[in-house]
Amino acid sequence: MTILYGATLAVIAAAGLLTLLRLVRGPLALDRIMALDVLVTMTIAATAVGSVARDDTTAIPVLVVLALLAFIGSVTAAHLVEKREGMR
């Protein structure tokens, strides 16, 4: 199972690098906001995989809080972008 966990973390790391590329190059603010949201989600997923690999459940409350903060941040950022687009 260790190989499976390593492969999963490698795929998440590769996706994280591609997401960082979108974060840097994204032409619109909404692209960057979505890239940050995906990056936080991948961080949560990588932490969850690491927690399962170590049979450690102490990180679960932290993961729930991070997921809620990511959701609230995404909704707030989308609302602000929508407001800014309406001002043009």
Going residue by residue through the chain, which has 88 residues, state the pLDDT in tens, using 9 for 90 and above: 689 999 999 999 999 999 999 999 988 888 888 899 999 999 999 999 999 999 988 989 999 999 999 999 888 988 888 887 766 5
Are the C-beta atoms of residues 8 and 17 closer than 8 Å to each other? no
Q: How many CB atoms lie within 10 A of CB 30?
A: 14
Are the C-beta atoms of residues 32 and 23 closer than 8 Å to each other? yes
**pTM score, two decimals?**
0.82
